[in-house]
Chain A
Amino acid sequence: MQFLSYLISGISLGSVYALIALGYTMVYGIAKMLNFAHGDIIMIGSYVIFFAFGSFGWNPLVAVLFSMVICTILGVLIERVAYRPLREAPSLAVLITAIGVSYLLQQVAQLLWTSNAKSFTSVVGLQKITLFDGQLIISGETIVTILVCIVIMVFLTLFVNHTVPGHAMLAVSEDRGAAQLMGVNVNATISLTFAIGSALAAVAGALLCSTYPSLSPTTGAMPGIKAFVAAVFGGIGSIPGAFIGGILLGIIENLSKAYISTQLSDAIVFAVLIVVLLVKPTGLLGKKVNVKV
């Protein structure tokens, strides 16, 4: 029963990673860049909820929606100002810019809200449920996190595979030039990708801080890196890969914490990544890319 409990909270943590990883993987697939500022969008989104819900007492759902709007605007703005001018630049320049944006967001947050951790009030109103005569307790946050992740995954898959803008995204991801020849506006498609990824980051932030209620300017950094690992783990560029990678990572992390060592859990997570990449360099669901010379 203990194991089941660790497993379920692992899936819940993994769902948060999956939501963040979706942002990484979609942006990578379509814009061919690693947006290392993605984790910090989560942090900004969480502060928005902290003030809207915690301080101003808005309805929690409205606060989350508001945070999604702010994060979407922020994500699209960052892409427009920092990344778009570098569209033709070497990928290293873009990568370093992304790291710079990440620090910028953290420092701005620190200036505005100090580096002291704030205690986040959970936005989940659901009561915990008790099963098997009190042997298994599942918190409301855990249930909501898993459900939200599943719903988002289903909608995103339907959107990408069965709508015209979704197909345009797949087309840009596969061959930017050919997509342009079909009349697809590449810049608009990349903006849309950043918008979706950032909105998901806001949701991930709300769920993450509801489960782990301490919010500081560096809150997004570690989950951001872990979600990046999850995306690589599942095969970067692949949406189902991000989902599976995220969930597996959460489970591995939680079980390591429970049965091996709390301090070593992160090391174990990264070790698993190294092993996976040695065995299957493209990740679990990644496609082999043939580079044309």
Chain B
Amino acid sequence: MGEMLSVKNINVFYGSIHAIRDVSFHVDDGEIVTLIGANGAGKTTTMHAISGLLKLQSGEITYCGEIISKMEAHKIIRLGLSQVPEGRRVFSGLTVQQNLMLGAYTRRDGKEAIQNDFDMVYELLPRLKERRGQLAGTLSGGEQQMLAIGRALMCKPKMLLLDEPSMGLSPLLVKEIFKIIRDVNRNGVTVLLVEQNAKMALEIANRAYVLETGTIKMEGDAHELANNIEVRKAYLGC
């Protein structure tokens, strides 16, 4: 199990706000790693820095041995690093099928291979299949989240970044989404999961990092962190 993603001492500014201070962490091949923290801790900023939507002030991000921190966002995805953004951000004016097709935008390996992945996504997320001709804007929140995940899988990623997939969903749906994440990981996709729902995230993760006001406060085995008194007090409410 080699190191797949490595974030080294990154600093990110939003205008004059120092949003991320000297953050370092890594994700190994095949793992589920979660980054937990409260609102405004810098989780989404970190995600955007990795996917290239935000520029770093300093530091370095490498993915599969390649430095990606100076690469443009639309090139990073070509390396198999796909993101499910916060708030789903599906294309509401396009159908489910068209959204998934855009997920495969970077692929040049032929119709047949893409069709296979359509089948794979529809098998994993059968509800999308029922709704494939429907405009994405008319889907429920849970279905939109599934679509966002399906869309991110259509580029055949080696690694999936998920930003708050449980946001705004009912507990039952949250369970369903987390089961899907686990399935995706079992199919060989490495996962970096950012969550406010620390309880669920720690349940499925191998390792975890706790982010507070832009710095990593704690890190370790997910199971151990879930039993850590400080974490329990601050994030699990017990």
Contacts and interface: CB of A to CB of B under 8 A. Distances in A.
Interface residues of A, number: 17
A164 interface: yes
A180 B73 contact: yes
Nearest to B82: A181
B73 A167 contact: no
Interface string B89-118: 111111000100111011000000000000
Interface in B104-163: 105-106, 151-152, 155
Contact of B102 (A177, A182, A186): A182
B179 interface: no
Contacts of B91: 170-171, 174-175, 178-179
A174 B93 CA distance: 8
Contacts of A95: none
Nearest to A183: B106
Contact of A182 (B77, B92, B93): B77
Given A183-B74, A186-B74, A178 B94 contact: no
A177 B148 CA distance: 14
B213 to A, nearest CB: 22
Contacts of B18: none
B67 interface: no
A5 interface: no
Nearest to A162: B98
A168 B104 CA distance: 11
A181 B162 CA distance: 12
Interface string A86-108: 00000000000000000000000
Given A164-B105, A167-B101, A183-B106, A178 B89 contact: yes
A90 B91 CA distance: 25
B103 A182 contact: yes
B37 interface: no
B53 A181 contact: yes
B215 interface: no
Contact of B94 (A171, A180, A183): A171
A174 to B, nearest CB: 5
A167 B89 contact: no
Contacts of B101: 164, 167
B78 interface: yes
A175 B78 CA distance: 19
B74 A185 contact: yes
A32 B82 CA distance: 26
Given A171-B91, A178-B89, A183 B105 contact: yes
B93 A168 contact: no
A175 B155 contact: no
A186 B72 CA distance: 10
A184 interface: yes
Contacts of A177: 53, 73, 85, 89
B52 to A, nearest CB: 8
A174 B85 contact: no
B11 interface: no
Nearest to B154: A182
Contact of B51 (A167, A179, A181): A181
Interface string A235-279: 000000000000000000000000000000000000000000000
B83 interface: yes
Interface in B41-86: 51-53, 72-75, 77-78, 82-83, 85
Given A167-B102, A171-B102, A182 B151 contact: yes
B83 A181 contact: yes
Interface string A155-191: 0000000001001101100110111111111100000
A175 B53 contact: no
Contacts of A171: 91, 94, 102
Contacts of B77: 181-183
A190 B90 CA distance: 20
A178 B93 contact: no
B103 to A, nearest CB: 6
A168 B93 CA distance: 12
18 contacts: A164-B101, A167-B102, A168-B105, A170-B91, A170-B93, A174-B91, A174-B92, A174-B93, A175-B89, A177-B53, A178-B90, A180-B72, A180-B73, A181-B83, A182-B105, A182-B155, A185-B72, A185-B74
Given A170-B94, A175-B89, A177-B73, 10 more contacts: A167-B98, A171-B94, A171-B102, A178-B89, A181-B77, A181-B82, A182-B105, A183-B74, A184-B102, A184-B105
Q: Which are the 10 A-B pairs with shortest beta-carbon distances?
A: A183-B106, A178-B89, A180-B73, A183-B77, A185-B74, A183-B105, A182-B105, A182-B102, A183-B74, A181-B83
